[in-house]
Amino acid sequence: METSRQSDIPVEEQIAALQEQDAQYRGMVTWEDPSRIPAPNNSGDCRHPLQGRWLPIKDLVDTSGLRTTYGLSTFRDHVPEDDHPVVARLRAHGAIVIGKSNTPSYGALPVTESELHGMARNPRDPSRISGGSSGGAAVLVAAGTFSLAHGTDAAGSLRIPAACCGIVGWKSTPGLLPHDPASLSEHRGIHTHGFLAGDTALLQDVAISLGASGRVLHPSRLVVLDGRPFGGGRTPYWEAAISQCWTFGEKLSCTVEMLELPEEDAVRKAFQLFWMHLASPGTVPDDSLESHLVAWRTYAREHGAAAVQQAVRLLEAFRQRIEQRSSPGTVFIHPTLGIPVPDAGMRERFADPFALFAAGVELSPLGAVANLLRRPAVSFPLAHLDAPGIPVSATLVGPRGSDAALLGLVAVAQEARMGHQHQPEDVC
């Protein structure tokens, strides 16, 4: 459905058609004013895959002159004066910000359901969640409304919705894209930006054009990650997905090994405290937050700053143990989800804030590993275990700076399996 200003159709009609398509899914929460959309580039010069492309930006990220709510009711009318640095970078490469995609309150949940914007419904199966916190972006891509959408990822927030909606999600290496100097999680490399698409090769083109190395990755060693370091239980779905990850490595002619991450109560508690500390914005009063964020903020406050710092040290020690058990060029793989894509309405089913947090860990048991390692990661559809249905997805985690190489590895595997050949789009 995606169009651009190069079309002869008036821009107002194009946007109206996109709005109609998205109305049943609620992927977008704010649309750009047609009068602010720049004229098409008719020079014939299309050197960058973002040039002239209409791009939805996650509603967690500031956009100059365009409403940004962070999924919070108190910001329902908030219009920033300045772009987030990553938005400024994307505009500089020719991207046209077309609107803001749905996200849960402060991007703190792995499901896109909020009091302000409601539920982003999964185009693959509207009875199931679309994932989060970049769920609106995934919905827009999975529904075919846009071929590419921006998102962010702090503990699987790009990769979880990609898996729920059966598409590809790329979390970038920290530093590849500019961060907000005021954001502690971005500054530390925990929270990074990326994109979702149905076409892996398109994502690779975007990664290279944004500065990622174009080198080819030929991993001789693929390490399958298993275990429950942050909590949760094992399921038959997980075991079947682990087997598919192993098979993927063998098809790449890799030496496949297993790394079982130990279940340590101290690490589990440290991750919970660290997340609840990050997920409760300190500048927003309690009465402006949804109940789960208030409970998490209270939990972090009661433990105090010293306990939060101790949690950070424990998680850093956890990261170092993984690094010590892997060679510099190691590529990891693990199932993106630990359970089949759940039914919609997770916030209602898990009314207790701590049960809701635990449900998020069950949904993606290893989602935070790539963030703690400060490495790039790509979630991609791996196999169908039940047909019809949403495919099982795996996450590849590569060395720092291997973004385009990881995407290339996935693209090659997908072409070999499906016969798909990427054709560059003319969107200038």
pLDDT tens per residue, range 391-404: 999 999 999 999 99
209, 240, 268 - which closes a domain? 209
Range of the domain at 319: 221-402
Instruction: For residues 148 and 57, give the distance between their C-alpha atoms in angstroms, rounded to a whole number.
Output: 10
Tell whether 351 and 380 lie within a shared domain. yes
User: Among 338, 290, 345, 289, which residue's Cα sits nearest to residue 130?
Assistant: 345
In a domain, 424, yes or no: no
Residue 67 one-letter amino acid: R
Q: What is the pLDDT of residue 42?
A: 53
Question: Could you tell me the CA-to-CA distances from 51 to 6, 46, 172 in Å, in that order?
Answer: 12, 6, 20
* 226 bridge partner residues: 260
As for how many domains the chain has, the answer is 2
Tell whether 256 and 138 lie within a shared domain. no
Instruction: For residues 182 and 22, give the distance between their C-alpha atoms in angstroms, rounded to a whole number.
Output: 33
Tell whether 74 and 164 lie within a shared domain. yes
Q: What is the pLDDT of residue 187?
A: 60
Q: What is the pLDDT of residue 231?
A: 95
**Average pLDDT along the chain, 428 residues, taken 10 residues at a time:** 64 96 98 89 68 97 97 96 97 97 96 97 97 98 98 97 98 92 70 96 96 86 96 95 94 91 96 92 86 96 96 96 87 97 96 98 98 97 75 96 95 63 38
In a domain, 66, yes or no: yes
Instruction: For residues 183 and 220, give the distance between their C-alpha atoms in angstroms, rounded to a whole number.
Output: 37
Tell whether 195 and 240 lie within a shared domain. no
Instruction: For residues 334 and 363, give the distance between their C-alpha atoms in angstroms, rounded to a whole number.
Output: 13
Tell whether 128 and 274 lie within a shared domain. no
Angle formed by the axes of helices 403-418 and 200-209, nearest 10°: 160
Instruction: For residues 50 and 66, give the distance between their C-alpha atoms in angstroms, rounded to a whole number.
Output: 20
Tell whether 205 and 227 lie within a shared domain. no
The four Cα atoms 104, 206, 176, 186 give a dihedral, to 10 degrees, of -10
Instruction: For residues 396 and 259, give the distance between their C-alpha atoms in angstroms, rounded to a whole number.
Output: 14
Task: Report whether 104 contacts 125 (CB < 8 A).
Answer: no
Say if strands 221-227 and 255-261 run parallel, antiparallel, or are unpaired: parallel
382: domain CATH number is: 3.90.1300.10
pTM: 0.94
Instruction: For residues 131 and 164, give the distance between their C-alpha atoms in angstroms, rounded to a whole number.
Output: 6
Tell whether 379 and 327 lie within a shared domain. yes
In a domain, 182, yes or no: yes
How many CB atoms sit inside 10 A of residue 153's CB? 29
In a domain, 425, yes or no: no
In a domain, 6, yes or no: no
Tell whether 173 and 255 lie within a shared domain. no
Q: What is the pLDDT of residue 388?
A: 60
In a domain, 1, yes or no: no
In a domain, 112, yes or no: yes
Instruction: For residues 211 and 25, give the distance between their C-alpha atoms in angstroms, rounded to a whole number.
Output: 33
Tell whether 33 and 155 lie within a shared domain. yes
Tell whether 204 and 273 lie within a shared domain. no
